[in-house]
Amino acid sequence: MSNPIHPAQTKDLQVQQLVAGIGNQFAVQGEFVSGEEIDSGHINSTYCGTFRQADGSLRRYIFQSINRNVFKDPYAVMRNVECVTRHINDKVLRVKKDLGGQTLNLFPARSGGAWVEDPAGGVWRCYNFIEGCVTYDVVENTRQAYQAARAFGSFQDLVSDLDATSIRETIPDFHHTRKRFQRLLEVAAADPCGRLAAVRPEFDFVCQRESLTGMLLAGIAAGAIPLRVTHNDTKINNVMIDAETDEAVCVIDLDTVMPGLALYDFGDLVRSATSPAAEDETDLSKVQMQMPMFEALVEGYLDSASAFINDTEIEHLAFAGKLMSLEVGIRFLTDHIEGDVYFKTHRPGHNLDRCRTQLKLVERIEAGENKMNDFVRKVRRGKR
- Burial class (CB within 10 angstroms; exposed 0-12, middle 13-18, buried 19+) of 371: middle
| Contact (CB, 8 A) for 296 and 142 | yes
For residue 247, give every residue at least 6 positions away whose Cβ sits within 8 Å of its Cβ, in sequence order, or none.
147, 241
Three-class SS state of 76: helix
State the pLDDT at residue 92. Answer: 78
Residues in CB range of 323: below 8 A, 6 or more apart = 177, 212, 213, 215, 216, 263, 267
Whole-model pTM? Answer: 0.86
Q: Which of 93, 104, 109, 324 is nearest to 213 (CA)?
A: 324
Instruction: Determine the pLDDT at residue 95.
Output: 63
- Low-confidence spans in the chain with pLDDT less than 70: 1-11, 40-43, 93, 95-102, 384
DSSP code string of 362-374: HHHHHHHHHHHHH
Residue type, 288: Q
Determine contact, residues 355/332, Cβ cutoff 8 Å.
Answer: yes
pLDDT value for 214: 95
DSSP state of 238: G
Q: What is the pLDDT of residue 100?
A: 45
Local structure of 52: helix, strand or coil? strand
Give the integer Cα–Cα distance in Å for 382 and 107.
41
pLDDT of residue 172: 84
Q: What is the structure's pLDDT at 44?
A: 75
Domain architecture of the chain: domains with CATH: 7-131 (3.30.200.20), 142-383 (3.90.1200.10)
Q: What is the largest CA-CA distance in the chain?
A: 79
Rounded CA gap, 212 and 210, in Å?
5
How far apart CA 181 and CA 327 sit, in angstroms, is 8
